[in-house]
Amino acid sequence: MIGTFVLSAGYQDAYYKQALRVQKIIQQEYRQVFKQVDALITPTTPTPPFKLGEKLNDPLTMYLADIYTVSANIAGLCGLNIPCGLTKDKLPVGLQLLGAPFHESTILKLGHHFQQATNWHQRRPPV
């Protein structure tokens, strides 16, 4: 970490400006998507959940576990995670509903309809 800090010293403003440019591109892409649809449904994570402590020595896997939720934060989208099943190992799986900025009511209504049609939100995995 010290090496990274030393190598990046003096470049923070350039990195920040580049990050803002990337954020703007991501926001513009989502704006285009939400002109065509009211919501996106995605998995919450790219892989089934792992057991507590199982991936402590695998930081890349742990980092990638939230890859689908990060773009919502960067783009300023509203999002809702809802239980939607269990793996064969009885670990919970979620789906993510994403909506345009400030369209929380749409996402909450969709989430409510999903929960009315299913009972995943009432199920609990064995502890």
Instruction: Give the global pTM.
Output: 0.82
- DSSP H helices, 1-127, are 2-8, 12-33, 59-64, 67-75, 104-117
Q: How confident is the model at residue 2 (pLDDT cuts 50, 70, 90)?
A: low
CA separation (Å) from 19 to 15, 23, 46?
6, 6, 24
Distance between CA atoms of 66 and 49, rounded to whole angstroms?
A: 11
Mean pLDDT of the chain: 89
Segment 59-86 mean pLDDT: 91
- Domain with 52, as residue range(s), is 2-122
CA angle 97, 78, 67 (to 5 degrees): 65
Residue 8 lies in a domain: yes
Residue 104 lies in a domain: yes
Q: How confident is the model at residue 78 (pLDDT cuts 50, 70, 90)?
A: very high
Number of domains in the chain: 1
Which residues are paired to 97 by β-bridges? 41, 80
Residue 9 lies in a domain: yes
Residue 127 lies in a domain: no
